[in-house]
């Protein structure tokens, strides 16, 4: 059974700092998704990573995929308060989700 593990589960950051969220998965997959969810809201797609070595960036967020290590990272650069949300990774065609990382960015 495919298992998806995210860490950390909770992350409190100061504005302006950098940090990385990790997503490990247990079986081979050639696609990985990152989503953002604000409290009480739906899930918003951030990135779709489709191949080994794929890197995508949008604003202060950059995602990468290493299929050999079964690892994806979501890197946050110079965090701002608006990035506070829960971030999920999801793996494979049937979208098995990690537990989510609740990010809080403090001034």
Partner 1 sequence: DAGVIQSPRHEVTEMGQEVTLRCKPISGHDYLFWYRQTMMRGLELLIYFNNNVPIDDSGMPEDRFSAKMPNASFSTLKIQPSEPRDSAVYFCASSLDISGNTIYFGEGSWLTVV
User: Taking CB under 8 A as the rule, does residue 100 contact partner 1?
Assistant: yes
User: Taking CB under 8 A as the rule, does residue 31 contact partner 1?
Assistant: yes
CA 70 to chain centre: 14
Cα(36)–Cα(91) distance, rounded to whole angstroms? 15
- Which of 55, 69, 78, 99 lies at the binding interface for partner 1 (CB under 8 A)? 99
| 3 state DSSP class of 16 | coil
Total residues in contact with partner 1, by rule CB under 8 A: 20
Stretch binding partner 1 (CB under 8 A), from 13-21, 30-38, 57-65, 67-75: 30-38
The two structure tokens encoding residue 13? 């950051």
User: Taking CB under 8 A as the rule, does residue 97 contact partner 1?
Assistant: yes
- Secondary structure of the chain: what % helix, strand, coil (to 5)? 5, 55, 40
| 3 state DSSP class of 82 | helix
What mask, x for binding partner 1 by CB under 8 A, covers residues 47 to 66?
A: -x-x----------------
User: Taking CB under 8 A as the rule, does residue 43 contact partner 1?
Assistant: yes
Name residue, tokens 């247990």.
26
List residues binding partner 1 (CB under 8 A): 31, 33, 35, 41-45, 48, 50, 88, 90, 93-100
């Amino acid at each position: 059974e495919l298992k998806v593990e995210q860490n950390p589960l909770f992350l409190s950051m100061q504005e302006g700092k950098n940090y990385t969220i990790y997503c490990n998965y247990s079986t081979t997959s050639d696609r990985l998704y990152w989503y953002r969810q604000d409290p009480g809201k739906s899930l918003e797609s951030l990135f779709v990573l489709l191949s080994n070595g794929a890197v995508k960036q949008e604003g202060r967020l950059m995602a990468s995929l290493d299929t050999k290590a079964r690892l994806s990272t979501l890197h946050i650069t110079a965090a701002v308060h608006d990035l506070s949300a829960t971030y999920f990774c999801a793996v494979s065609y049937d979208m098995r989700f990690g537990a989510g990382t609740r990010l809080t960015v403090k001034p």
